Structure 1
């Protein structure tokens, strides 16, 4: 990247992908359909994103988080990117959505706290209580758009109950093997570790769609685990702190791939 101030700074596609959480593939797709195009190119043809491009990408991400499809986003972006009223309306809508997400997270926290209190009282909650909490955790609205939630539910339905149970068993086996490597301090570029990470990602990919949308859903799931591994891991058979370590280990292993 170049420049010290916001106006003169430039981002490569890789830098923008890492900073924004949008995959390189998605940024290329946005470029191809004219949604977010790099404002400049180097002499060798490499994309360089300007401050204006970053503001436009923010609007795209914010509108996607509000559930708008790309076609409607394209229409919304017909308004100049720096129009103050348009930006204020967008931020107001996003703030409303964030408040809703905070409320849903508050309810989830209460559900988990209630389950823990009932366990402390030696009263085992009904299976339905656990299912409700697990489903809420899996569908945290702060990470998945409505389209992504529909996609996840659809994939589960397509796979069927038997395949889902088999996937759970495979997941448990991968967790046990990877935790042993975490405990032993195995380097993340070790071939055995890389193979386990590949199998982990392939297992997760079975629950996501194909193409760009599936890649974005997978990225959202990884982000959710990275940022809430302690809360999510608390409901699994393994110690929450170990699951947090495992999530960090997986991220490191992917980075060395």
Structure 2
């Protein structure tokens, strides 16, 4: 936080990035596409975010967790004012999502208490009880609904194990190629980069159904990455920060296309 001659706070891009859990690159991307621009710049040219900018960022992040694309968010924000009613609507939707999450936690907690109660009475729970609990844990740990998980599993079965393994190999190769372009800061309208992004999206589309169901599972996959990138990244052979930058870079390529 820096000077506030008019009584209003200002934040640097680094401070906003740290507070929001975003990268500076992602914030600059938001600026490039007109989704969130710092209202002020100091003499050196550095961005300074105002209180209004921070409120807008909160709305962007909240709408993103609800599954909206950046294009959809831009449309929503263009049609609504930065006022109490608009903020109330966003917070209400976010609260409903958290309440649903809390219900799942409560159900899982109740189930685990039951298993512990049986063990304390020297009785081993039967396999079906463990299976039911595992299913509940799975729902708790992912943003996919059970129906969406079933759709994804069915699609993988349709593709077959050989095609899935081939897709994994192709994806790893795409990651390596794209990371080189991220490091080199290749312009997002470069034909080579656009071709790689097209291959990336086509590869991902193989694992999703067509139509609205597929769009919903894609949105859930994006939310899963955004909300759990640290944990997911730990299971990948590339540094988490590099993968985050790659995802932002791909979004910039799509916007430029």
TM range (shorter): 0.5 to 0.7
Q: TM-score, normalised by structure 1?
A: 0.52
What value does the CA root-mean-square deviation take over the aligned residues?
A: 3.9
Distance 1:137 1:91, change over 3 A: closer
Counterpart position of 2:247: none
1:23 aligns with 2:36: no
SS state at 1:78 partner? helix
Q: Is residue 109 of structure 2 the alignment partner of residue 109 of structure 1?
A: yes
Matches within 5 A, 1:54-203: 54-79=54-79, 81-120=81-120, 121-126=122-127, 127-139=130-142, 141=143
Structure 2 vs 1, CA of residues 88 and 218 (structure 1 numbering), >3 Å: closer, same or farther? closer
- 1:159, distance to aligned residue in structure 2 (A): 11
Any gaps of 5 or more consecutive residues in structure 1? 164-208, 226-257
8 A Cα contact 1:38 1:50, kept in partner? yes
Which residue is 1:221 aligned to?
228
What is the alpha-carbon distance in structure 2 between the residues aligned to residue 221 and residue 135 of structure 1? 14
Task: Answer whether contact 1:40 1:50 (CA < 8 A) is retained.
Answer: yes
Q: Which has the higher contact order (CA 8 A, sep 6+)?
A: 2
Find the residue that maps to 2:22 and give its secondary structure. Answer: coil
Q: Which residue of 1 aligns with 2:40?
A: 40
Please report how far the alpha carbon of residue 71 of structure 1 lies from its aligned counterpart in structure 2 after TM superposition.
Answer: 1.5
- With over 3 angstroms needed to count, the CA separation of the structure-2 counterparts of 1:92 and 1:129, relative to structure 1, is closer
Deviation at 1:133, TM superposition (A): 3.7
The TM-score normalised by the length of structure 2 is 0.52
Give 1:195's aligned residue: none
1:33 is displaced (CA, Å) by 1.1
Q: Name the CA shift for 1:46/1:3 in 2 (closer, same or farther; >3 Å).
A: closer
Question: 2:78 aligns to what SS in structure 1?
Answer: coil
Answer whether contact 1:40 1:47 (CA < 8 A) is retained.
yes
Cα distance in 2 between the residues matched to 1:6 and 1:132: 54
